[in-house]
Amino acid sequence: MKTGLQKFTEKFVEGLLFISGSITSLAVILIVLFLFKEGWGLFNETPVEKGSVIALNKSNPVQQLSAAQVKNIFDRKITNWSEVGGNNDSILIFSVNDITNFYSEAELGDSLQFVPQRISELMGKKSGIIAFLPTEYLAKNFEGRILPLKKITLKGFLKGKEWFPTAQPAAQLGILPLILGTLWVSLFAILIALPFGLATAIYIAEIADNRVGKILKPVIELLAGIPSVVYGFFGLIVIVPLVQRTFNLPVGETGLSGALVLAIMALPTIITISEDAIRNTPRAMKEASLALGATHWQTIYKVIIPYSISGISAATILGIGRAMGETMAVLMVTGNAAIIPHSILEPMRTIPATIAAELGESAHGGLHYKALFALGCVLFVMTLVINLTVDLISARKKYSK
């Protein structure tokens, strides 16, 4: 007795549900789109903020400089043009404020109206000069040569060793220290969490009697539920001083502090997924082992763990993924120094912490803003790789059963 209306309702609801079902796909696509749209713009720009230029004397044969070279020149680490492929001529650094060293106030005009002209003159005179100038100080017939900077490349972005996005005159956008910081902290966290997580998973699934297991479950659920900012707070007040005292460090905000906090936070993921995997081992396989005279422990490490290894690896990888993406706790305890780490006892800075700490200060649409979105893209790709790996592992597990 299906009426037309009823049929229509059925179809209508199904359509509605389908739309809802598609929303995650849509969300993922939108996230990718927006992230890459904002981030990709970075690679069409030079590391000098809009509105400023770097200029040389016309006779200077240097055709291009990288952001790192510019920084080294302005930091006076490079003092001769021959070091960057030019003539043997010492480098003279010039910025607008230095103009009074070369010209008297009278020459600059009483309302400084001659400044652009004088700068231009100076640029023509000094062969070794390099100037960082706002574009409004460029005279019409500028006698210097505006130096095109190398565009930011993906390779340079990923491999650059310095992250100093607000540096003048050229932003240093190398995220290698951030990538390494992220990896160090999260891998260390898993290294700490894995033995405990696995031991607990085995304990709950195999050793503990039901009553104890019933106590542990909510404990783990609660551990998973505590907000990361609370972990960060706890880390800041308890773990950071502890690490500082134990290792006698100048500061306690180190990679290790972050790793410890992350380890606690990664535990629930590792425990629940490994426990599931362990419980999924067929009873027959366990019994076969015991029937051969193996002890329970021998059965666990010779049969149950090998059987559930794909689930355990999935748990581990997921744990790493969680740790890599964790923001607040890490931001609060790792010290956030953007340097390439040499030891876990140094301050470190991770990608998410960088985004969280800096996005608020970056101008919308500016170089820094785009760089942070590009950083978000890198983080996204890293976690995507992790998720796909986990999917692959679980798919293979199903296949082998």
Partner 1 sequence: MAKDYVKKPKVMAKEVNLYYGDFHALKGITLSMEENHVVALIGPSGCGKSTFLRCFNRMNDLIPNTKVTGLVMVDGKDINDRGMNVDQLRKNIGMVFQKPNPFPKSIFENVAYGLRVNGVSDAKFIAERVERSLVQSALWEEVKDKLKKSAFELSGGQQQRLCIARALAIEPSIVLMDEPASALDPISTAKIEELIYELKSQYTIIIVTHNMQQAGRVSDKTAFFYMGELIEYDDTKIIFTNPKNTRTQNYVTGRFG
Partner 2 sequence: MNPDPAKIHRRKQLSQRLVFALFTLMSAAIVLVLVVILGFIVVRGLPAINWGFLTKMPENGMTEGGIFPAIVGTFCLVLGSMIFAFPIGIMSGIYVNEYTNDGPVKRFMKTMTNNLAGIPSIVFGLFGMALFVNGLHFGDSILAGSLTLGLLVLPVVIRTTEESLKAIDNSFRIGSYALGATKLQTIRRVVLPMALPNIITGLILSIGRISGETAPILFTVAAYFLPKLPHSIFDQVMALPYHLYVISTSGTNIASSRKMAYGTALVLVLIVLALNLLANALRRYFGKKVKMN
Q: For binding to partner 1 (CB under 8 A), which residues are involved?
A: 209-210, 282-295, 298, 302-303, 306-307, 400
Binding partner of residue 285 among partner 1, partner 2, none, CB cut-off 5 to 8 Å per kind: partner 1
CB of 301 to partner 1, least distance (A): 10
Confirm or reject binding of residue 252 to partner 2 (CB under 8 A).
Answer: no
* Pattern 193-222, partner 2, x by CB under 8 A: --xx--xx-xxx--xx------xx-xxxxx
Binding partner of residue 242 among partner 1, partner 2, none, CB cut-off 5 to 8 Å per kind: none
Confirm or reject binding of residue 298 to partner 2 (CB under 8 A).
Answer: yes
CB of 296 to partner 2, least distance (A): 6
Binding partner of residue 332 among partner 2, partner 1, none, CB cut-off 5 to 8 Å per kind: partner 2
How many residues sit in the footprint of partner 2 (CB under 8 A)? 85
Confirm or reject binding of residue 236 to partner 2 (CB under 8 A).
Answer: yes
Confirm or reject binding of residue 251 to partner 2 (CB under 8 A).
Answer: no
CB of 390 to partner 1, least distance (A): 20
Confirm or reject binding of residue 30 to partner 2 (CB under 8 A).
Answer: yes
299 or 327: CB nearest partner 1: 299
37 or 58: CB nearest partner 2: 37
Confirm or reject binding of residue 128 to partner 2 (CB under 8 A).
Answer: no
Residues 278 and 206 sit within 8 Å (Cβ to Cβ): yes
CB of 161 to partner 2, least distance (A): 23
